[in-house]
A and B are shown apart, each in its own frame.
Chain A
């Protein structure tokens, strides 16, 4: 607790006058104190995020099989990645497909659940807690569990489909259905988004609805013109976090499909991992990771840029 010691010593130690002089004006004092407060965070950021990123930027221009030292090869990793890697575009396609299905479905599902819960339901906190549980089950456990549920031969889901006379599916075992199965799996944890949307819904002042009703608005209009606009900041948050999560999707696919069958679940992160740690092509893996970073940052920027068009901040009416 170096920080505490430094700060609390200022009042009593004989160095007080010196310290005061060092600190100088309140502004300067604020600056120094501010730096002390953020020091651990900045150190962490430098060592564990920025440092590795700079290093990886260099590595991405090298040929680097873990055991030998990196050898500079210029842009070859990037060129090969776009032109020669047979599964690169497949990985992009799979990841994008997952992002554009799982994220909107997840948001819609979570929002609908939140709307349901936001009515005067009894046992609201009980429901809320139950729905949230899947999001805290460790990813490994939920992946294995869903592997069983979706098993074509003895899985619960096929057993239930059979009972009600619906056609069964091979789910993760067929190229046509594997990715969709992972999307389905992801919906199990909509509870995470739901609690946030529910909080957002509960934060909408009742007076807004009262006022609108006096003006003769019906239920649909209330939803369309009050609930939705006031929820957009929260939905926006869900969208951004959802996209980031989708582009980094790894564990479930790693455990359940390893990218198969026929690369139908070959997520970008799986490819990066495979290059770097299975094929020991650290240079290529890192180049791929950098491309992903650029894409994610660009996309996020676009989403932020688009936000004035559809995200509505409460302050605008207050």
Chain B
């Protein structure tokens, strides 16, 4: 299944002892991959190691990837001085889970309708949804801002859930593909047995589209978690901020006020190292969610859920 041209390219070339050895153990691709992986993960490693350095280590040896002694001062500072972090985190979770639930449900319903049901205007509506994929999100921001203001939904997580939850072109696309790839016969036999449309959708089609739903859910969760522009525009109240926007606020607002909360830590941590801890903190939940879902996510993608 997964052999391809490069292997064959190698096998058709002239053979020397080294070449055979290289080929047998697939040394070259492994080495190349290891190098790429190091480059890709280097920034993250550096971030982790920086977050574990105290001020003295960070300033004297900023580029060392292994801290000489592990210090938790940055985390201590982060959790004691930056009191609004738990609020941001909670908001992000509410928003991300809310949007994910809405997107998965709505996209599954619509995706199924577009894949399996025939009704007037179906294709034109689907076309409009596809076109809306190309409408720059930032471009409509001014009108969205006015709209959210008008609906009294600015500065409201509920409003943000509706706003993000309604942006469905890609999820619908993915779900429609998934339903299209289910053999029609399965549903037809259920239909003959007297099952209603809803029952067929809920009991038969949906379970067969699990990996597509996982993809939609993962993309929704990750997308909402890292959104900056829309949240930044729609929310300016601290109590409703998400972690992505909130973290930037903390990073740009300086350390004077925050350090006042924990005077005993003054001078013990480097501000970048504390920032590093905060960045890791902000990314951790989404990486964790991804790690939990990645098996199904990758399975879904491998099954070809994302393509035109």
Which residues of A from 195 to 214 have beta carbons under 8 Å from B? Answer: 195-196, 198-204, 206, 209, 213
Which residues of B are found within 8 Å of A198, using beta-carbon distances? 302
**What is the 8 Å Cβ interface bit string for chain A, positions 122-136, against chain B (1 contact, 0 not)?**
101101111111111
Tell me, yes or no, whether B135 is within 8 Å of chain A by CB.
Answer: yes
Tally of A-B Cβ pairs under 8 angstroms? 330
> Cβ of A305 < 8 Å from any Cβ of B?
no
Known: A38-B113, A202-B1. Contact between A45 and B132, CB under 8 A? yes
> Are B4 and A118 in contact (CB-based, < 8 A)?
yes
Closest A residue to B222 by CB, please name it.
Answer: A136
Taking CB as reference atom, which chain A residue is nearest B137? A248
The answer on a CB contact under 8 Å between A7 and B196 is yes
Neighbouring A residues of B18 by C-beta, 8 Å: none
Whether the Cβ atoms of A34 and B248 lie closer than 8 Å is no
A102 within 8 A of B: no
Residues of chain A within 8 A (CB-CB) of B47 are: 145
**A137: interface (CB < 8 Å):** yes
- Give the CA-CA distance A160 to B9 in the complex, in Å: 35
Q: In the complex the two chains form, what is the Cα distance from A116 to B31 in whole Å? A: 10
Say whether, besides A136-B287, A196-B307, A276-B142, A38 and B110 are in contact (CB < 8 Å).
yes
Residues 143-173 (chain B) with a chain A CB within 8 angstroms: 143-147, 162-163, 165-168, 172
Query: A236 CA to B198 CA in the complex, in Å?
Result: 35
Residues of A within 8 A of B (CB): 3-4, 7-8, 10-11, 27, 30-35, 37-38, 40-45, 47-53, 55-56, 59, 113, 115-122, 124-125, 127-142, 144-146, 148-149, 154, 156, 159-160, 188, 191, 195-196, 198-204, 206, 209, 213, 218-220, 222-223, 226-227, 233-234, 236-237, 240, 244, 247-248, 250-251, 254-255, 269, 272-273, 276-277, 282, 285-286, 289-290, 292-293, 296-297, 300
Known: A48-B167, A149-B43, A289-B141. 15 other contacts (CB 8 A): A41-B129, A44-B165, A44-B168, A127-B37, A136-B222, A136-B286, A206-B3, A209-B3, A222-B4, A226-B5, A244-B133, A255-B248, A269-B229, A272-B141, A293-B139
